[in-house]
Amino acid sequence: RVPGTRSRFRRSVRELVRQQVGWGKGYAHVIARYRREPSFWRCYRLSPIIYRLLGSLAWLYPIMASLLAPLKGLYLAVKLGNPHLLPYWTVRRWAFLYGILTELRRAFKAQGTRRR
């Protein structure tokens, strides 16, 4: 917890989904803004293999990682010994992915029309 801040707990799955969809929409604009900036994507410190495989398409990695949310959820559930983590993680990541996919076209259009 950061001093001077306040956190609001999500009371329902609906609130979780709304929050993650909103974050996904915001992240779509981050993707659109920095898709051509390799140094931005290197800040994520992903495996060098990912950069070699994807090259200038490294911005696709968060989208592909969200698609594979059930596998990551299963891994975390087994590692942490908490089977309830699997549906939570999957719903959370897929809501985030839905937000990205619904906003990505609009974000690319907004970034494409701006002059640099």
Assigned domain for 8 exists: no
The pLDDT value given to residue 114: 55
Assigned domain for 98 exists: yes
Give the residue numbers spanning the domain of 71.
13-113
> What is the overall mean pLDDT for the chain?
85
Assigned domain for 20 exists: yes
- 44 or 14: which leads in pLDDT: 14
Secondary structure of residue 109 in the 3-state scheme: helix
The residue type of 34 is: Y
Band (pLDDT 50/70/90 cuts) for residue 113 is low
Stretch 17-21: mean pLDDT: 93
What span, in angstroms and rounded, lies between the C-alpha atoms of 72 and 89? 8
Assigned domain for 7 exists: no
Band (pLDDT 50/70/90 cuts) for residue 64 is confident
pLDDT tens digits, 78-104: 999 988 888 888 899 999 999 999 999
How many domains is the chain built from?
1
